[in-house]
């Protein structure tokens, strides 16, 4: 299953709105076939694995998601596994998509041994945006990415944040962005940093992420590169209804689309209505604190640089105080290093397990 999960990840940035899926065929403990879903519209992992194997009869197929039982862009994987004579299927997590689910039952009815739940937590974490989009259709999967000093600041006392993290971490962020439908920032970050918010790493996303600026009352300036490049990259600005007229006038003739919503929850609902199923929020601290306070964050990608700043923009402003007896713990889903920096990935609770 670890091999299937690693293969699945190779589809990063290419498969959405489909899930990341890898499959391995085993005979007597040896790998005799494998594959992954490489891009939306292309064959599913199980089909690629079957095609890579000269004789898949009596093999075990290990796959990180329940094989699909419906005709989508490709035929049902369940039928292909049955026709190929596979004798056992091991999968990590059920497919919550009502159209595609039921594969496990169909395999069992065909006399195939089925084992469910191997590496379930890792499989849920890998496909959390997909799984959440199926079970919680009212808003996107919301991940926050921040880079801080060890004392939790996003900037120094002069509001400089370039660069807290090192080149490896910054390169990794480009890879990360490729897997999200949209990249969002608070209005102050848009104004102070004028970030490009594009995925400029080794992986070119199949659909480049849209860009979102979350404001409330204020406008953004016309000469920001975010605004000037909005003709090429869809860019949305969300503001309170009272601000729409003034902001529309200020940005008239630009390609930024202006949307109105009251509060962050409504802003996220609006993004989902715009077809955005996953959003990576890249700060700043006021927005991050508000999302945390309103319990709207699903995941945090936290890059910690080995330095202290003593003062600056706090990573999470205006948080409600919580006592240790009431606090809920997040789940660590990944820890690692990015050059000299540390990466910590935590999930609030996978929405599939809510
Ligand atoms: N190190 C990093 O990873 C990193 C990442 C991003 C940013 N930064 C730094 O962070 C600084 C900016 O951060 P910041 O904390 O000052 O501002 P911010 O979080 O980027 O933006 C705050 C703005 O977001 C809007 N907003 C929308 N809904 C909100 C809500 N419910 N609560 C609060 N704000 C909401 C408000 O716009 P209105 O004014 O229109 O109401 C508010 O002024 C910059 O200096 C930037 O360089 C660092």
Per-residue pLDDT of the chain (354 residues; tens, 9 = 90+): 999 999 999 999 999 999 999 999 999 999 999 999 999 999 999 999 999 999 999 999 999 999 998 776 667 999 999 999 999 999 999 998 877 778 999 999 999 999 999 999 999 999 999 999 999 999 999 999 999 999 999 999 999 999 999 999 999 999 999 999 999 999 999 999 999 999 999 999 999 999 999 999 878 899 999 999 999 999 999 999 999 999 999 999 999 999 999 999 999 999 999 999 999 999 899 999 999 999 999 999 999 999 999 999 999 997 888 899 999 899 999 999 999 999 999 999 766 655
CA dihedral angle for residue 212, residue 42, residue 56, residue 67, rounded to 10 degrees = 50
CA of 313 relative to ligand 1 center, distance in Å: 9
CA of 286 relative to ligand 1 center, distance in Å: 5
> CB-based contacts of 66: which residues, under 8 Å, 6+ apart?
91, 93, 94, 95, 100, 101, 103, 104, 116
Runs of H (alpha helix) within 114-157: 120-126, 128-135
d(CA 335, CA 207): 28
Q: Is 149 in the pocket of ligand 1 (CB under 6 A)?
A: no
42 annotated active-site: no
Which ligand 1 atom sits closest to the C-alpha of 285?
Answer: 15
Nearest residue to 289 (alpha-carbon basis) of 322, 266, 260: 322
Q: Is 317 in the pocket of ligand 1 (CB under 6 A)?
A: yes
- Choosing from 46, 66, 277, 282, the catalytic residue is 46
Q: How far is CA 198 from CA 225, 251, 339, in A?
A: 12, 21, 22
* Cβ 235 vs Cβ 228: under 8 Å: no
Which ligand 1 atom sits closest to the C-alpha of 164?
Answer: 1
> CB-based contacts of 201: which residues, under 8 Å, 6+ apart?
171, 172, 174, 175, 177, 178
> CB-based contacts of 128: which residues, under 8 Å, 6+ apart?
141, 298, 299, 347, 350, 351, 352
Q: Is 155 in the pocket of ligand 1 (CB under 6 A)?
A: yes
Sign of CA dihedral 190, 213, 337, 36: negative
Sign of CA dihedral 298, 238, 273, 225: negative
d(CA 87, CA 154): 53
Q: Is 110 in the pocket of ligand 1 (CB under 6 A)?
A: no
Q: Is 268 in the pocket of ligand 1 (CB under 6 A)?
A: no
d(CA 317, CA 310): 16
d(CA 310, CA 282): 22
pLDDT at 100: 73
**pTM of the full predicted structure?**
0.95
> CB-based contacts of 22: which residues, under 8 Å, 6+ apart?
3, 4, 5, 6, 7, 8, 9, 10, 34, 35, 36, 37, 45, 63, 64
């Amino acid at each position: 299953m670890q091999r299937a999960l690693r293969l699945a990840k190779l589809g990063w940035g290419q498969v959405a709105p489909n899930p990341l899926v890898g499959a391995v065929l085993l005979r007597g403990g040896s790998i005799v076939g494998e594959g992954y879903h490489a891009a939306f519209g292309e064959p599913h992992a199980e089909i690629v694995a079957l095609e890579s194997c000269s004789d898949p009869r009596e093999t075990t197929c290990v796959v990180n998601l329940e094989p699909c039982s419906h005709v989508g862009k490709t035929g049902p994987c369940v039928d292909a596994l049955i026709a190929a004579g596979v004798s056992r299927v091991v999968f990590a997590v059920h497919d919550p998509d009502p159209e595609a689910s039921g594969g496990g039952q169909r395999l069992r009815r065909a006399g195939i041994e089925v084992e469910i739940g191997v590496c379930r937590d890792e499989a849920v974490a890998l496909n959390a945006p997909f799984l959440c989009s199926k079970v919680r259709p009212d808003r996107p999967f919301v991940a926050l990415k921040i880079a801080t000093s060890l004392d939790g600041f996003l900037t120094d006392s002069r509001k400089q944040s370039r660069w807290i993290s090192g080149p490896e971490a910054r390169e990794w962020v480009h890879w990360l962005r490729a897997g999200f439908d949209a990249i969002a920032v608070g209005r102050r970050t848009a104004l102070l940093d004028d970030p490009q918010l594009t995925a400029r790493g080794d992986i070119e996303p199949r659909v480049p992420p849209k860009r979102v600026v979350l404001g409330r009352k204020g406008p953004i300036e016309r000469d920001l590169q975010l605004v000037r490049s909005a003709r090429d990259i869809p860019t949305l600005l969300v503001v309170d209804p009272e601000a729409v007229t003034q902001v529309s006038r200020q940005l008239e003739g630009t390609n930024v689309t202006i949307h109105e919503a009251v509060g962050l929850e409504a802003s996220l609902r609006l993004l989902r209505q715009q077809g955005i199923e996953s959003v990576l929020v890249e700060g700043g601290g006021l927005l991050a604190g508000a999302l945390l306070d309103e319990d709207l964050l699903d995941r945090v990608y936290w890059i910690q640089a080995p330095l202290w700043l003593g003062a600056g923009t706090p990573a999470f402003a205006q948080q409600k105080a919580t006592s240790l007896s009431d606090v809920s713990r997040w789940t660590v889903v990944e820890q690692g290093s990015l050059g000299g920096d540390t990466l910590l990935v935590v999930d609030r609770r996978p929405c599939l397990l809510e």
